[in-house]
Structure 1
Amino acid sequence: MAEKKPNALQTKLTPSAELGAVVGTGPIARGECVSKMWEYIKKNDLQNPANKREILADAKLKPIFGGKDKVSMFEMNKHLAGHLK
């Protein structure tokens, strides 16, 4: 039986330098990357208290979010895609 190919969430990708500053520089699966981003967001209290779906960018997240001060949780995933190769 053929070995199952990992799906898009399990494929190990290399984070950009900006993303690596948050999730680590080693190869990382997309799903794991999103989990680590949420760990960082929660640890640093970066969710907008008025709207939990908004993420407030600190100095480390701003370059990942294309210089924006805040993004929605859905927008965050789009920005992460550009930082994983």
Structure 2
Amino acid sequence: MTYTVSADLQAIVGGKTLTRPEIVKKIWAYIKAHKCQDTKNRRMIVPDAKLSKVIGSRPIDMMKLAGCLSKHIK
């Protein structure tokens, strides 16, 4: 099943329609490439300016990422 992603999420994942696994894979690639994980607690995602439009400006636990993404896919 493919989903349409919001403009904010599209800026990170690079596609307008993707499957959920593709979205998760691409957002994790972005997180790792832009060093958005806390260096001491790798479970915490510390958003940069682009990622904060999707998950908010506060650090979140990686287990809450899926809930944040749900708000940006249809």
Q: Answer yes or no: same fold by TM over 0.5.
A: yes
Kept in 2: contact 1:17–1:25 (CA 8 A)? no
Divergent runs of 4+, >3 A? none
Structure 2: gaps (5+ residues):
none
| TM-score between both structures, scaled by the size of structure 1 | 0.82
Q: Structure 2: which amino acid aligns with 1:49?
A: T
Structure 1: gaps (5+ residues):
1-10
Three-state SS of the structure 1 residue aligned to 2:27 is helix
Counterparts in 2 of 1:2-81, with a 5 A limit?
A: 11-65=1-55, 67-81=56-70
Q: Structure 1: which amino acid aligns with 2:67?
A: K
Task: Please state how far the C-alpha of 1:42 moved relative to its aligned partner.
Answer: 0.5
Kept in 2: contact 1:48–1:54 (CA 8 A)? yes
Bigger radius of gyration? 1
Higher RCO (C-alpha under 8 Å, 6+ residues apart): 2
Q: Structure 1: which amino acid aligns with 2:44?
A: E
Q: Structure 2: which amino acid aligns with 1:30?
A: R
User: C-alpha offsets along residues 10-56 of structure 1, whole Å, 9 cap, x if unaligned?
Assistant: x1001101100000132101111000001001111111011101111
> Percent same amino acid at aligned positions?
38
